Amino acid sequence: MYMRRLVEFAEQHANDLPPVGYARRSYQWFVVITHDDRFEFIQADRGEQRVIPNRSRASGVSPILLTDKAEYVFKLPKNPANAKRAAECHLAYMKLLKECCEATRNELVQKIVQILERQDWQIPDGMKSTDVILFRTEAGDFPHEDNKVKKFWEDFLIKNSSKEENDSVCFICGRSAPAVKRHTIEFSVGKERTKLISANESAYLSYGLENSEIAPTCFECEQKYGQALSYLLRKYANKKQHGGPHMMEIGNVTYVYWARQNDPETTSMFTFLSDPDPVAVRRILSSPFKRAENHGSLDRICILALSANKARMVVRDYAEPPVWKVKNQIRQFFDAQQIVGAPKPASIYLLAACMYRDGRKEMQKEDVQDWMNWALYGKRLSERIVAKIVRRIQARGGMTWIHAAAIRSWLISQNKE
């Protein structure tokens, strides 16, 4: 269900997402095509990003159109022992560029091919084989942004990512189409780069199907759900802000959320669970709950809980509760923890961490989920939670305000009046 919802999100926000086969990535060098058909090298600012062509490649030689690593573009090896591989990468890169020239007749791409074949350029000091190269003109035009180039890259990826022998039924859209061999988009979950669907060991294989064919997905759906989830996982540019507009990280669990009918007010309330703003929380608590008005809304919010395990994404939970119910439950979550002398509203992390001597090292994913299930869905907190809190109070020989807030929350969650 959540895969279908991600595809729906991509279709609703097509203007906010990159084109098919493109992603927001960092690059290290501008290569400017001068008026006299030469290359001028300019180092990019650290961390600078643009939406550029992209593809996933675990091994082998797989060139990316125009914006690839220096190993592919300029035949720059990592070390002398890798010179043969660098030559193979460059050969495949040039073949792809020439195919693009024939299909698009793009003058900038043709110039790049001609200059690369002349080999009269000199690699600047400091360039590494893994540095990503971005071509542009002196006027600031980028060949990868041309519509014909975009269409060529999309068609190329479809042709090279699908199983050609026969069609499969896509498990997302239900249409008969070639199944993608390997899903191309990776996601940052915690400190790991992960994929949602993959199989590279016999234990993961199903009915003799390998790679990503264990869950047959057409290329269009693979791109849509991937672009949507990448967008939802994007963090705030300001490092001082926690999480992102549609995500928050608590312990080792990442929560992604989006309203099926665009509702910025509801999604903004999620931010307070990980980073409570006292003024905003007071506003939430003072807001009256009008039963008839809230129950009349049929809008729902999608909530996806994720973690990572050895470069694979783990979907821990998914739910689509009504918007009115989530708003009311978040209000109850903050109301339940109110005690005399509390300096501030408690976040999910503080409540889960108070059960341990060092929450950063000892906290379990299940603890975070228990508190989130209470905050979002009103699910009763387990006896395990209160037992850990009491043991921690006994171990330190006293109770702090956060322990009191956690115990009061546990008592109210039992729904025993």
At residue 294's C-alpha, the angle toward residues 291 and 298, to 5°, is 135
Phi-psi region of 60 (alpha: psi -120 to 50; beta: other; left: phi over 0): left
Contacting residues for 338 by C-beta, under 8 A, at least 6 apart: 285, 405, 408
Supply the pLDDT for residue 287.
64
| Tokens representing residue 244 in the block | 């992102």
| Tokens representing residue 333 in the block | 């979550």
Contact between 134 and 29 (Cβ < 8 Å): yes
| Tokens representing residue 332 in the block | 């109850």
Rounded Cα–Cα distance for residues 82 and 71 (Å): 10
Q: Write out the DSSP string of 334-373.
A: HHHT--TT-SSPPPHHHHHHTTSSSHHHH--HHHHHHHHH
Strands (E), 210-252: 247-250
Q: Is 133 exposed, middle or buried (0-12, 13-18, 19+ CB in 10 A)?
A: buried
Supply the pLDDT for residue 65.
95
Say which residue the tokens 């050609």 belong to: 164
Residue among 416, 255, 383 at smallest CA distance from 330? 255
Supply the pLDDT for residue 129.
93
| Predicted model pTM | 0.76
Supply the pLDDT for residue 293.
44
Say which residue the tokens 């498990």 belong to: 171
Supply the pLDDT for residue 64.
94
| Tokens representing residue 195 in the block | 């994929």
Contact between 33 and 138 (Cβ < 8 Å): yes
pLDDT along the chain (417 residues), means of 10: 91 88 90 92 90 82 93 92 92 95 94 92 91 93 94 87 67 84 80 77 59 78 90 84 85 87 70 81 68 56 89 88 87 90 89 90 87 91 93 93 94 81
Q: Write out the DSSP string of 114-165.
A: HHHHHT---PPTT--TTPBEEEEETT---GGGSHHHHHHHHHHHHHHHB--S
Strands (E), 190-271: 192-194, 247-250, 253-259
Half-sphere exposure of 52 (CA within 13 A, CB side): 21
CB crowding 378-397: b at 16 or more within 10 Å, else e: beebbeebbebbeebbeeee
Q: Write out the DSSP string of 59-112.
A: SS----SSS-BHHHHS---SSGGGHHHHHHHHHHHHHHHHHHHHHH--HHHHHH
Supply the pLDDT for residue 328.
87
Classify residue 192 by its DSSP letter. E
Say which residue the tokens 């030469």 belong to: 38
Three-class DSSP category at 386: helix
Supply the pLDDT for residue 291.
45
Contact between 410 and 386 (Cβ < 8 Å): yes
Rounded Cα–Cα distance for residues 346 and 333 (Å): 10
